[in-house]
Structures are given as C-alpha cells and as structure tokens.
Amino acid sequence: MSMAYPEHHIQVRVYYEDTDHGGVVYYANYLKFMERGRTELLRQYGLDLQHLAESYGIQFAVTSANIEYPAPAKFNDLLEVESQIIHLHGARIVFKQTVWRLNADTGQHEQKLAVADIHLACINPQQKAQRIPKTIIESLTCEEKHYV
C-alpha cells in the first residue's frame, strides 16, 4: 500500500556498553537502536508486539537490512532514531530509519550517523510468511490511533 506515513522519533543515549574499545558505537548496535525505533513506532499505533503474538499468532522478522554508516557515534552522544514506514503490502513492511547525533546545546540534528532500509516479514508460529492481518493494516493506515 502506497501512502505517506508519519515519522516517529525516539532518543537514545550511547552508553559505554554500546561502544568498542575506542569509545565508538559498535556497528551492530545501530540495529538495536533501530529495533527500539520500530517497536515504539508500532506502539504509537497501539500495536504491542507481545499482544500481536498472543492474539494474532504473528511476529515480525527482519528479512533484509541495508545500512550505511556515514559517521560514527561515540560514548555519551545523544542520538535520535527516526523511523518511517515506506511500504506496507501483503506480508511485508519496509522501514526507512536514520540515526542522528543531536547537538548537545540545541537538541537539533547535528550529523547523520546511519541510514537503513529494513524489511520485515509477518510470520506465523511455524515461521512461515503470512499476510498482515487487516486490523493491523487499518491501525497503521489510519490517521487516528487504533488499539488492537
């Protein structure tokens, strides 16, 4: 389904545990930050992942992640994860996600650190792709937030 979806933003502080020996964020940790962003975007639409698993028997699994890292994040940086659904159809959701370093004084975007296209498949308990339930699609495509 092609439509414009609003962006969702969360802030993440870089902790020592997120970094390598040199104080730079380990590349795989951006995936963790982005996972938080996607989860909170879905929560904004009333879609709790645990509830979806229990009530609909579905989960969302990452099937593809294409990430570029223009600059590194460092220990104690304040980051913003920007997430947006860019495609929703059948069993698939595609997200565009950007991680920014925020300026400590202004709170504005200072530098782009990572950009990703993340593809998810809706799967059933047998790990097979299945269409996203209609009520979930309706929750994601309505202006008003619905809780399913």
Query: Are the CB atoms for 56 and 133 separated by under 8 Å?
Result: yes
> Is there a catalytic annotation at residue 20?
yes
Cα distances (Å, whole numbers) of residue 72 to 9, 30, 45, 58: 19, 10, 31, 35
- Of the candidates 20, 77, 105, 117, the residue annotated as catalytic is 20
Range of the domain at 133: 8-141
**pLDDT tens per residue across span 105-127:** 999 999 999 999 999 999 999 99
Residue 46 belongs to a domain: yes
Q: Is the pLDDT of residue 1 over 50?
A: no
Measured CA to CA, the distance from residue 79 to residue 82 in angstroms comes to 10
Query: Are the CB atoms for 9 and 80 separated by under 8 Å?
Result: yes
**pLDDT tens per residue across span 54-84:** 999 999 999 999 999 999 999 999 999 999 9
List the CATH number of the domain containing 18: 3.10.129.10
Number of separate domains in the chain: 1
Residue 26: which pLDDT band, with cuts at 50, 70 and 90?
very high
pTM confidence score: 0.90
State whether residue 40 is helix, strand or coil. helix
